[in-house]
Amino acid sequence: LTEHVYPQLDQVPGLQRYESSFCTRLHHIAAEWRLGVLDAHQHRRLREAAGQRRPYTGRQPSHFAAILRELARDGRASAAQIAAATGLNPATIRRQLRQVLDSGAVTIRCETSHRAAGFPVVCEWFCRLPAAEHEEAAAALRTMSTLRLCTSLTGPANFSFMMWLRSPADIMTVEQRIAARIPQLEVLESVVITEIPKRVGRVLDVDGRSTGQVVLPGPAWG
């Protein structure tokens, strides 16, 4: 941030102030969101194929960077395709790809257009909640199938969550349910996101579909 992002913001004409919040814990991510089209047997087969995911504990080794960029371009890329794209030995890529997937450094998920899936409204809430109650609140939110993201943050709004909804009326319904389930949660701001320019690296059109253009992680990320 200090080397790459903030200097660019400082050069924006007329920008007088910006504010950053840091995520201190991810309670729920979009990879855990379900569209509801698989039956119980299909869910079980998918979990068995995925295996046990390890928690990520540190910065990835430098040799992961080339593989991660190719996976960002195409999460279905095979070891042979990655080897061809990077010019590395296929046997080396197969070994390193297994290390990458086993490390927990990367999450591979299947995405969809929120509008095509029947969820045209994207809303994010910024809240205040005692830190000791974050885990319990996240567990309550996870029972709601429309939850896409739930995080703990730094700053006055120290708890945030995002949902995909079917109509603007659902915003009030969600807030009523949350008030009943988590009465200690103070909502400071609710934000309706009208346009999402990019998702998992894919540049999107106005309907949330991929344009085919992919923005890859830069060298600072690797």
- DSSP of 63-77: THHHHHHHHHH-TT-
Using alpha carbons, select from 151, 182, 152, 177 the residue that is nearest to residue 165: 177
And the tokens for 53? 């995911």
Longest dimension (CA), the chain: 57
Task: Give the pLDDT confidence score for residue 79 in this predicted structure.
Answer: 92
| b/e code 58-78 from CB counts within 10 Å (16+ = b) | eebeeebebbbbbbbbeeebe
Q: Is residue 17 part of a domain?
A: no
- The H-assigned helical ranges of the chain are 6-10, 40-50, 64-73, 79-86, 90-103, 134-141, 169-181
Task: Give the pLDDT confidence score for residue 57 in this predicted structure.
Answer: 62
Task: Give the pLDDT confidence score for residue 24 in this predicted structure.
Answer: 96
Task: Give the pLDDT confidence score for residue 53 in this predicted structure.
Answer: 67
Q: Are residues 183 and 96 in the same domain?
A: no
Q: Are residues 134 and 157 in the same domain?
A: yes
Mean pLDDT per block of 10 residues along the chain (222 residues) reads: 90 93 94 86 84 67 83 90 92 90 81 92 97 97 95 97 96 96 96 92 91 81 54
Residue 189 forms beta bridges with which residues?
Answer: 126
Residue 150 forms beta bridges with which residues?
Answer: 28, 161
Q: Give me the number of domains the chain comprises.
A: 2
Task: Give the pLDDT confidence score for residue 75 in this predicted structure.
Answer: 87
Q: Are residues 92 and 122 in the same domain?
A: no
Range of the domain at 102: 62-110
Q: How many residues in total does the chain contain? A: 222
Task: Give the pLDDT confidence score for residue 146 in this predicted structure.
Answer: 94
At what angle are helices 64-73 and 90-103 packed, to 10 degrees? 80
Task: Give the pLDDT confidence score for residue 47 in this predicted structure.
Answer: 80
Q: Are residues 167 and 67 in the same domain?
A: no
